[in-house]
């Protein structure tokens, strides 16, 4: 049974199930346009499964998790709350989201970002909240600014250069 991690008026971010692997492969990791600024390449179904088993949460709040649109009861992407270890400081968390193309431009990214920020504040004592975005991903940068995040620097991660934002 799924556990709700974050809820908004229109969305649920829930714990994962193995049945989500194929759906997220088809909607996210198998779609070159959707993953353009994240993995940078399409995953195979087997790579999607391996990634999900490593990075998704099946029972807690830390890790990636499917996002379900309440109106349709369908998975439309995933979000996630992760420890942010880049600065080697305790109590730092990062949130993120990745939505299927048909869910772009509907305000879902802003909605889930706000909810994830609130969840981090509720769960952790005086946390420092971060998010990263590809330097060319203008849509994500706008969302991050809209929810109160401020650009602080560009860093190099395993996936390439990322702009780091912090909640002020």
Average pLDDT score over residue span 130-137: 96
Average pLDDT score over residue span 57-80: 97
Alpha helices in the chain (DSSP H): 20-24, 45-55, 108-123, 138-146
Instruction: Give the model confidence (pLDDT) of 43-57 as tens digits.
Output: 999 999 999 999 999
d(CA 150, CA 161) in angstroms, rounded, equals 17
d(CA 14, CA 136) in angstroms, rounded, equals 29
**pTM flag (> 0.85):** yes
The predicted structure's pLDDT at residue 89: 85
d(CA 20, CA 134) in angstroms, rounded, equals 26
Q: What CATH number is associated with residue 134?
A: 3.40.630.30
Local structure of residue 101 (DSSP, 8 states):
G
The predicted structure's pLDDT at residue 85: 87
Range of the domain at 70: 4-167
d(CA 3, CA 66) in angstroms, rounded, equals 11
How much is the mean pLDDT over the chain? 95
The predicted structure's pLDDT at residue 61: 95
Number of domains in the chain: 1
Whether residue 157 is predicted with pLDDT greater than 90 in this model: the reply is: no
Q: How confident is the model at residue 106 (pLDDT cuts 50, 70, 90)?
A: very high
Average pLDDT score over residue span 118-131: 96
Q: Which two tokens stand for residue 92?
A: 């730092």
The predicted structure's pLDDT at residue 55: 96
């Amino acid at each position: 049974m799924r556990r709700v991690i974050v809820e908004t008026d229109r969305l649920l971010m829930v714990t994962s199930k193995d049945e989500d692997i194929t759906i997220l492969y088809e909607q996210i990791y198998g779609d070159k346009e959707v993953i353009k600024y994240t993995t940078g390449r399409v995953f195979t179904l087997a790579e999607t499964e391996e990634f999900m088993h490593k990075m998704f949460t099946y029972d807690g709040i830390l890790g990636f998790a499917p996002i379900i649109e309440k109106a349709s009861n369908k998975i439309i992407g995933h979000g996630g709350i992760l420890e942010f270890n880049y600065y080697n400081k305790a109590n730092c968390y990062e949130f993120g989201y990745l939505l299927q193309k048909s869910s772009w431009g509907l305000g879902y990214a802003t909605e889930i970002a706000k909810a994830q920020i609130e969840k981090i504040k509720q769960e952790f004592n005086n946390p420092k909240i971060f998010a990263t975005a590809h330097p060319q991903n203008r849509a994500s940068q706008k969302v991050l600014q809209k929810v109160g995040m401020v650009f602080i620097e560009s860093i190099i991660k395993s996936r390439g250069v990322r702009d780091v934002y912090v909640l002020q």
